[in-house]
Amino acid sequence: MTEPIDLDALLDAMTLDEQASLLSGADFWSTVAIPRLGVPAVKVTDGPNGARGGIFKDGPSTACFPVGIALAATWHPELIADAGAALGTEARLKGARVLLAPTVNLQRTVYNGRNFECHSEDPWLSSEMAVAYINGLQSTGVAATIKHYVGNESEFQRMSVSSDIPERPLRELYLLPFERAVKEAKVQCVMTGYNRVDGTFMADHHRLVTQVLRDEWGFDGLVMTDWMAHHDTVQSVLAGCDLEMPGPARERGDKLVAAVREGRLSADAIRACARRVLQLAERVGSFADPVIPAERDDDLPAHRALIRRLGAEGAVLLKNDANALPLAPQAGQTVALIGHAAVTPQIMGGGSANVNAHYRVSPLAGLQAACPGVKLVHRPGADNHRYTPLMPVPMTVSFWANDHFDGEIVATQTSPNTEIMWFGSLPAGLDPYNFSARTTLRFVAEADGQHAFSLISTGLARATLNGEAVLDAWTNWQRGDTYFTFGCDEVVHHRALKAGDVVDLQVEFSTAVAGGGFGVHALRVGASRLMGEADIAAAVDAARAADVAIVFAGLNAEWDNEGLDRPGIALPHAQNELIARVVAANPRTVVVLQSGSPLLLPWLDAVPAVLQAWYPGQECGNAIADVLTGAVAPGGRLPQTWPLRLDDTVAFGDPAQYPGVDGHVRYGEDVFIGYRHHEARGHAVLFPFGHGLGYTSFEQTGLTLDRTVLQPGEVLSASVTVRNTGTRAGSEVVQLYVHDAASTLARPPQELKAFAKLSLQPGESRTVRLTLDMRAFAAYDVDRAAWWAEAGDFEIRVGSSSARIHQRATVRLLADWREPVGR
């Protein structure tokens, strides 16, 4: 057994400069080592749906798991713990001992660009998933990093916006997943958000980091900033934020030492943060094994199988009239696959969650394997992109060691497509703040029509087409919403081309503008034909001639992306028209949706079956095929309400509440988000929270409570029997909601407080027991600074969604129960 490290003796042996050095990263992904004292570096890597490693794009491949909302859609904590453990193994393969995951910000609005990465609109479901994920991950010796603490519910002005959150919703909603992660899962790291809360940047927020996180909840681990989210040298240390990332130091290092010598900061404050950095290194085993190994790209069969299972367990069958699903196509029949996503698998969202997957199984490939002898015909039908699609050809870039193409070419680099991201992957010897680059590309039009050519860059960029200067992201360059807000907005040029026309592009890039933060740069070149009426007509013809049509519609990682929010929740381009016309041509049409949050479905009444598949990871096509063909029953339930109208959603029509005014976004809806909001206002919804169908039927009966009266402090137990009344195996999620019959505080009509998922064979029944402690009945009372359950009646509601309550029972709390914060 390894002897424990005497951290205090180690700190005593350090100079102030050495202690201060520990409070910033050494580079983009590692902490600082102090070789003379045997202090090791610790490598971290991005999650939450994979372990990427040190190269942002096109590095060693890794397993790509379903995104956060897809994991939560399983409503299966035990399975999520398995996913966490697998991700721990994946992190180890990349030499990392800290995974920057899970993301537990709530889906406050439908606009947030990172809703796909988060678990749910509901704090209990989100926290159940987080606790399971962290327990699984940390069982492998890899530290979890719960993020983004706190109030990071949108991407608009994300580096500076202040989330102004009243104390009650802060406690009841947004802090709860973090609180449970600390108290129940013993999470080892917390990452602060970019945003401010009530005017103070989270990395500098003494009340929330020290008073709440550390003092009230007892968190003894490490707090790190999000990347480039550090602002104040002194205040962040005083707030209890230990580690500035990435490195090298920007606001710390020598500035910290100067602050101590000038009397603005005590040396003890630096020592306290440094101790927690050392403690993390000890907890993850870096002192015992200080070597950071080379990254490996092992493709593990067990992880393949787990990802495939997770994809099916999280797939939500939204509608299934007349048992249109599962499909049973026979040899010799024709199935028309419509939509780009049928052949271009949408496996994940965009931003820091993006990984270089080992492989990507398309729905076409999955269905080919599942349906031998069936003829599969594909037509794209309509566009689904946000930006002009990349050219699927290698792009070789030449570099100069200055920002103005002077002298000799010093390096070259090849990307597998026409996007290159220099996040830890710039050729050796180049200064990430001072280089220029050039590439040439050839585009050949495959069909007549209007074509788009585009540029996006984090520095100056320009391009000529056949010698003509038409793409200018150089003159008057300014930051936009791309590449974590360090890139410009897309610059687009349109021109009509005939099939066979050749366009030669010369593209130039320069760092002669402060675009890329911390020397992080990217260049993206797009070129594609715009789809139109002829493409829809071809898809309709294919559907009409087929026995079954499957339309793959939705979004992709350009819409569900870190750094920018969604403009709305309608399907982009002509996808709604495409679906309506396909189903008119063939009533045997199934729609498979892929998105990271709700969509409006104006054609829903006409389509017999709709499956929401999310972004299910590298086994995308296999998981979808498993569900469509009935090899596996769909196991998912919605973690987020799907509204009937955009107008009905939280913050709609009030700029102060979204996206914000003058740098502040006001959480004026209080505790009423998600289903709480819709139910309190009597809104009809498209699909309620917790909704999901299967290929069998269930009944829930026999709700019993172990007592009908509660003394303050007691635990209530509720039992429910579930029986599979159909002819196929399947799973049911028992959802328990609590309704406060009469409260002094305004409370939602009901709140999820427990759930259980059961898999049952036909005719099988099982009794499940759910327990509720006092917090299940309590609200946060600001005046009392306490959790407060008010004496009176509470209705226990059990059902299969927030809108399908099958049984009710009442329990009476005989006296008020109060728990002051900090206990």
Q: Which residues are catalytic?
A: 226
Q: In the chain, how long is the greatest CA-to-CA distance?
A: 84
d(CA 591, CA 335): 13
Give Cβ neighbours of residue 202 (< 8 Å, ≥ 6 apart): 148, 149, 150, 151, 192, 193, 194, 195, 196, 208, 209, 229
User: Which residue is associated with the tokens 């050809």?
Assistant: 393
The number of residues in the chain equals 823
d(CA 38, CA 18): 12
Token output for 37: 């004292």
DSSP, collapsed to helix, strand or coil, labels residue 46 as strand
Q: What residues does 554 pair with on adjacent strands?
A: 594
The helix (run of H) or strand (run of E) holding residue 403 is none
Residue type, 608: P
In contact, 334 and 374? CB cutoff 8 Å: yes
DSSP, collapsed to helix, strand or coil, labels residue 335 as strand
Residue 80 vs residues 67, 121, 126, 178, 347: alpha-carbon distances, Å? 12, 18, 12, 17, 18
Q: Crossing angle of helices 575-585/533-545, nearest 10°? A: 30
d(CA 123, CA 177): 6
d(CA 292, CA 306): 27
Going 514 to 517 to 521 to 522, the CA torsion angle's sign is negative
Q: Report strand pairing: 98-100 vs 548-554.
A: unpaired
Cβ atoms within 10 Å of 289's Cβ, excluding its own: 12
d(CA 432, CA 423): 10
What DSSP state is assigned to residue 56?
S
At CA 523, angle to CA 517 and CA 527, rounded to 5? Answer: 150
Q: Report strand pairing: 589-594 vs 548-554.
A: parallel
In contact, 533 and 82? CB cutoff 8 Å: no
In contact, 696 and 731? CB cutoff 8 Å: no
d(CA 674, CA 642): 9
The string of DSSP codes covering 112-158 is: -TTGGGS--SSHHHHHHHHHHHHHHHHTTTPEEEEEEETT----TTT
Token output for 541: 């013809």
Least Cα distance to 191 among 217, 213, 167 occurs for 213
What phi, psi does 661 have (nearest 5°)? -130, 135
d(CA 396, CA 406): 19
Q: Spell out where 644-697 has E strands.
A: 664-666, 685-687
DSSP, collapsed to helix, strand or coil, labels residue 668 as coil
* Rg of the chain (C-alpha set): 27
Task: Please report how many Cα atoms fall inside a 13 Å half-sphere around the Cα of residue 451, on the Cβ side.
Answer: 23
At CA 338, angle to CA 332 and CA 342, rounded to 5? Answer: 90
DSSP, collapsed to helix, strand or coil, labels residue 213 as helix
Going 531 to 534 to 536 to 541, the CA torsion angle's sign is negative
